[in-house]
Amino acid sequence: MKLWNQSWKYGLIILGGAILILLIMDFNTRVAELRRLTSEKERVSAKVTSLVETKVALETQISYSTTDASVSEWAYTRGHMVKPGENLVIPLAQAGSTPVAAPVPAVTPHIVSNWQVWLSLFIDQRAP
């Protein structure tokens, strides 16, 4: 009878330990999901902010485009139009001159050492 009483207790302890392990695994899964959703929320929030700023800039551009000043500016700069009594002057480059090309900066790769990659895997941060 004593053997049955002690085995019942050990069985209950093992069952409690298994349930505790399952609860810890579920908690870890939920924390990982929280991190993923938080980063996605930040990404979407940044995109929404960018889109709102673009919308405001476009609305400003539309409101400026409907003014007389913008029409006059376009007519002088891009439309090559003049008011009555003015002469149109278009500057030309000198003969034989070649335009200077702007230098393209070289992209340098960022080298990350192995220990930084492993560290980023364990502490859940991006490698620098």
CB of 77 within 8 A of CB of 91?
Answer: no
CB of 32 within 8 A of CB of 40?
Answer: no
Helix (H), strand (E) at residue 6: helix 2-65
**Tens digit of pLDDT per residue, the chain (128 long)?**
465 667 888 888 999 999 999 999 999 999 999 999 999 999 999 999 999 999 999 999 999 998 998 888 888 888 878 888 888 877 787 887 787 888 888 888 888 888 888 787 777 665 45
End-to-end Cα, the chain, rounded Å:
64
> Which one-letter amino acid corresponds to residue 121?
L
Cα separation, 37 vs 121, whole angstroms: 19
**Cα-Cα-Cα-Cα dihedral of 121, 122, 123, 128, to 10°?**
-40
| pLDDT score for 80 | 78
